[in-house]
A and B are shown apart, each in its own frame.
Chain A
Amino acid sequence: MVFAMLIVLPYIYVYQTFLESHAYDLLADSEKQLYDIMETLTQPFVGSDPENELDAIKGTTWSGNFFGFMISDPLAGLGQFAAGLSMHQPLLLAILIPVLLTLLFGRFYCGWICPAIFLYELNTNIRMMLKRMGLRVGSKGISLNLKYYVLALGVLLSGFFGTVFFASIYPPAIIGRELFYAIALGGFSSGLVFFILTLLFDLLVARRGFCRYLCPGGALYSLLGRYRVLRIQRIVAECNDCAKCNAVCELGLDPLNDGFGQECNNCTACIAICPTDGLEFKFQIKDIAAQGPGHLGKKYLYPSAEDQAAQVE
């Protein structure tokens, strides 16, 4: 959805160029085709002055402008602060909404908005295909804390170079920018090379390795979402210790032992796969401490006298 929007926006830019030139007859055939498609797509949303009205939505998930509201990634604000030791006040307002939402819902950005997720999940599928073909794919376990060091290093480098360093190593920013370059301006920049390297990292080192171990944005969101209000919890009475939740977790967390922590992005994959509905959303500030093995599992291992009687019957 977000990814599709990021593809449509550069095309709107191109369409606006054609509109402003007021010379439909002079366009090449392929350009005419694009013009017609975009005209039918945007017709319901614009009035009498399309070339200016289409300016209403601009930008990417890194920093965008929606009908006059500016929304920016908190990492952009942090990077600007690190680079110049000051923050532009409109930018402070722009990062306010994402920060508040993160405080409430945790690292929701990673699971629901980040446009790079789409490509990373496709990459996970490729990974599974390679595995099925018998090729070796890396699945190393690195410390989940590595990304906080990347965040700190990024802050230091931003200060050192005097530039917002995160923009060139943060996949959501790269994706939005590269799509705009590719469709609207032609060509690509070095960010794309970096992004392909992260895809290779996912293939060769660890599943979803970049999100898990390296992403500075994920680190910032994790820190902000440490005391989030909405979290997933295990109902120990309903759990049968099948460990499917651990296998499906994209971020390498440990739902089976109540190890959600600050890094859970509430993506609901574990809830969806749980065969006994043993996981649910709760409004709570802290995780419950490890509750030990699930009770359903205990029932199979050490059946009580009544259960045994029921089984015999």
Chain B
Amino acid sequence: MQRELKKSSCDTIAPSVENTDRRNFLKELIASAIALAVQPVHAAQNQPSIRFLRPPGSLPEKEFASQCIHCGQCSAVCPNRCIRYFGLENGFASMDTPYIIPREKACILCMKCGDICPSGAIQPIKRALEPIISKVRMGKAVVDRQLCLSWQGKTCGVCYRACPLADVAIRVGLLEQPHVLDKCVGCGLCERSCIQLPQAIRIIPNYG
């Protein structure tokens, strides 16, 4: 009796029978899931909307996506707690892959993530000056001279003092004006420490 009542009340709202209703719902669910899954891939390929870095030693972006098994160990060993994980904001292919936003927290080049990575997406690199300079390609720092305090005549030099490869990757001239050299690996510590807002020195990521 109760069941019949329920059904009739259902009929007044939606004229279709329960069974086809469910089928339609499932159809729509699957269709929207496919639409969601396919659309961001193209979005990510066309325009990387977020400026992020991969951990040091990462493969070029496309290989990285196919090698990474999304295990989450790189963040678990990172002593600086700078490695975070994507949700769906950068597309489906990079879901749960590691990234570093240098302005929030930059890499200290400890190279532990490469040692623990089981998938080879982050290559192991020895923690020494020579291998780091030759193999790490996270990006390259670029100075905005309109924003930089030193270039505007007020002596600052914070980025030079933050750089772990000072005089190798960055050099200061008159009034501590920063000049980025070719050997910059893009760890992002200069961007992290820049006292200007918005930051005058930024890492342009190298996705390979």
Chain A contributes a number of interface residues (CB within 8 A of B) equal to: 42
Which of A82-90, A122-130, A267-275, A278-286 forms part of the interface with chain B?
A: A82-90
Q: A177 contacts B118, CB within 8 Å?
A: no
Given the complex, which residues of B lie within 8 Å of A163, measured CB to CB?
65-66, 68, 92-95
Instruction: State the majority secondary structure of interface residues on B.
Output: loop
Q: What's the tally of chain B residues with a CB closer than 8 Å to chain A? A: 31
Given the known A-B contacts A76-B119, A177-B96, are A190 and B87 also in contact in the complex, defined by CB atoms under 8 Å? yes
- A168 touching B95 in the complex, CB below 8 Å, given contacts A162-B62, A163-B65: yes
Q: Which parts of B90-134 form the interface with A (CB within 8 Å)?
A: 92-96, 112, 116, 118-120
The CA of A162 and the CA of B116, in the complex, are separated in Å by 22
* A181 touching B77, Cβ below 8 Å: no
Chain B contacts for A13, CB-based, 8 A: 76
Chain A residues contacting B62 (CB-CB under 8 Å) are 162
Closest to B81 in A: A17
Contact with A along B67-82 (1 / 0, CB 8 A): 1111111011101010
Known: A163-B66, A189-B87, A189-B95. A59 touches B76 (CB 8 A): yes
**Which partner residue on chain B sits nearest A87 by CB separation?**
B120
Within 8 A of B (CB), among A143-197: 161-164, 167-168, 173, 176-177, 180-181, 184-185, 189-191
Which residue, B62, B68, B73, has most C-beta atoms of chain A within 10 A?
B73
Instruction: Report Cα–Cα, A16/B93, bound state, in Å.
Output: 31
User: Which residues of B sit under 8 angstroms from A59, Cβ to Cβ?
Assistant: 71-73, 76, 116, 118
A65's contact among B67, B69, B73, B81, by CB below 8 Å, is which?
Answer: B73
Q: Contact check, B70 vs A90: say whether CB atoms are below 8 A apart.
A: no
Contact A185 B85 (CB under 8 A): yes
Q: Which residues of A contact B69 (CB under 8 A)?
A: 62-63, 72, 76, 79-80, 91, 164, 167
Report Cα–Cα, A167/B67, bound state, in Å. 12
B71 contact set on A, CB distance < 8 A: 59-60, 62-64, 72, 76, 167, 173, 177
B19 to chain A, nearest CB (A): 14
Q: Are B120 and A88 in contact (CB under 8 A)?
A: yes
B166 within 8 A of A: no
Q: Does A58 have its Cβ within 8 Å of any Cβ on chain B?
A: yes
Question: Contacts of B70 on A, CB cut-off 8 Å?
Answer: 62, 164, 167-168, 173, 177
A184–B77 alpha-carbon span in the complex (Å): 12
CA distance A188 to B72 in the complex (A): 13
